[in-house]
Amino acid sequence: MQAIEQIKPENYRKIKPLYENFRDRALTDYKYQSVPIDFESFTLAVDSKNLEGLVLLEDGEPEGILIYSRLKSPGSTVIEVNAVHSDKKAPLLQALINRGEFDRISYPMLGIQENSVKALSPLGFKFVGQSIVKFDFQDPVSYRVLKNSPDAPFGESRLSVWDEKYREQTVELINLAFKNTKNANFDPRFLTKKGSEDVLEMILTNRYGSFLPFQGRLLLRDETLEGFCLAVMATEDKINIPLIALRKDERNKGMGKLLLKSVIGGFAKLIGEKNFHFKEINATVDTDNYPAINMYRRLGFREEYFYPHAYLNKAT
């Protein structure tokens, strides 16, 4: 007999072996950048509602878990599925849908989860192809490509590190740059300035990794923000680019490449001069965003792997 329950203190002991198995496989099978929190920390996160979850039971025994969190933006609640550790993903996701406590569901199907696309389609999910691109600091070919990549002329613009006085302009630019992209399908925060402010706040307060204010770059013309590239330390040896954006009239001029190249160069300098042990910089880009993919390639990045990002809009 099959049953699905909310993860709660009454079943913590029962699901612990399943969570530990998921945690052991997180880096290899689920392509996590770092090992998830230990079980005690996980239960504390559930107790405080920072994380929630469902457990699939077969004859009373746990056979799968679904872990998720809630992202709230103006007029919208997004359930972000962190992982589904089960061979039977459809029943768990259907149970989540049936609860109806969302406007959208966002589910990055990393690693072995991509094999469940066919099972999710009948539930109403749609998919955006995503690519993880990586600059490998240990690869001399990547450095050679970076070095040989020509720089675009600055013109009247200049580069700066992060400065709080440009926060409001950064929020405006996030909204303008991403509201009409596929990212807004699974993250509607990009649709409004308030939601874009929430995204930026999460980056600045280390929700996506340790924010590195002196390693990101702002592109300025006088006191106007024309573009930016932010950086966080995802793990001790991995850097992530959570957002990079330009104003529309600055695109196709090499300014994005200029920003990104400066960021990479800053980390290369830290490695060379201060003995930091960063192994890579990575970013996520839509698989059909060919201008962005070509920009990364021209700077020595390579596509490491692809995955489908599933989303479900309750309104449709």
Q: What is the mean pLDDT of residues 234-240?
A: 94
Confidence band, pLDDT 50/70/90 cuts, at residue 68: very high
Start and end residues for every CATH 3.40.630.30 domain found in the chain: 2-124, 132-313
Q: Is the pLDDT of residue 175 over 80?
A: yes
pLDDT at 315: 67
pTM: 0.92
Which secondary structure element, helix H or strand E, spans residue 105, and what is its range? strand 104-108
Q: What is the mean pLDDT of residues 192-206?
A: 95
Per residue in 92-139, pLDDT tens? 999 999 998 888 999 999 999 999 999 999 999 999 999 999 999 999
Query: Nearest-CA neighbor of 117 among 306, 307, 304, 285?
Result: 307
* CATH H superfamily, domain 2-124: Gcn5-related N-acetyltransferase (GNAT) (3.40.630.30)
Q: What is the mean pLDDT of residues 251-270?
A: 92
Per residue in 53-65, pLDDT tens? 999 999 989 999 9
Query: Hey, how many other C-beta atoms are within 10 angstroms of the C-beta on 228?
Result: 24
Q: Does domain 132-313 have CATH number 3.40.630.30?
A: yes
Confidence band, pLDDT 50/70/90 cuts, at residue 253: confident
* DSSP-assigned states of every residue in 56-98: EEETTEEEEEEEEEEEEETTEEEEEEEEEESS-HHHHHHHHHH
Strands of 302-313's sheet in order across: 2-6, 52-58, 61-73, 76-85, 104-108, 302-313, 126-136, 280-286, 238-240, 232-233, 210-211
Confidence band, pLDDT 50/70/90 cuts, at residue 178: very high
Contacts of 48 (CB under 8 A, 6+ apart): none
User: For residues 227 and 259, is the Cβ–Cβ distance under 8 A?
Assistant: yes
pLDDT at 117: 95
Beta strands (DSSP E) in 141-287 are: 157-160, 210-211, 217-221, 224-229, 232-233, 238-240, 244-246, 280-286
Q: What is the mean pLDDT of residues 249-253?
A: 86
Q: Is the pLDDT of residue 275 over 80?
A: no
pLDDT at 316: 57
